[in-house]
Structure 1
């Protein structure tokens, strides 16, 4: 544990950010998992609705610097491709 006042504040801030990031990453995992389940079930309408929600969650995480913006774009693109395949 840090001894200097500024270092102790840094530690408190990092704990807050870690908790916030964990919530966001868990939400990402759950929404992406829901889209993948809908894709496996070949439920096109449900998959498209869930994809819209997942892309929103991923974009928000990228804006908040929880994940890199290119990673968010890549995940959305791959999910979109999978949804388009079952829509055909």
Structure 2
């Protein structure tokens, strides 16, 4: 896990919308979306269409990520806390 992924997981102990993450981290869209995609590919985060509606299909984070909510998965939390 790189530093950006670690910092992003710090914000995902609770469900957060994309805009919150952008404001909190102050990252450009490309950096935030690519880091979200990397975490999702590792199964470290869950993607949601609403605070209580998880997506189980393939997620196109680079194109649709600004419309989603995010939450660290159990695997992601365990990895985050192991560092």
Structure with greater proportional helix content:
1
State the TM-score, normalized to the length of structure 2: 0.32
The structure where strand makes up a greater share of residues is 2
Q: Which fold has the larger relative contact order, with Cα–Cα distance below 8 Å and residues 6 or more apart in sequence? A: 2
Using the size of structure 1 for normalisation, the TM-score is 0.30
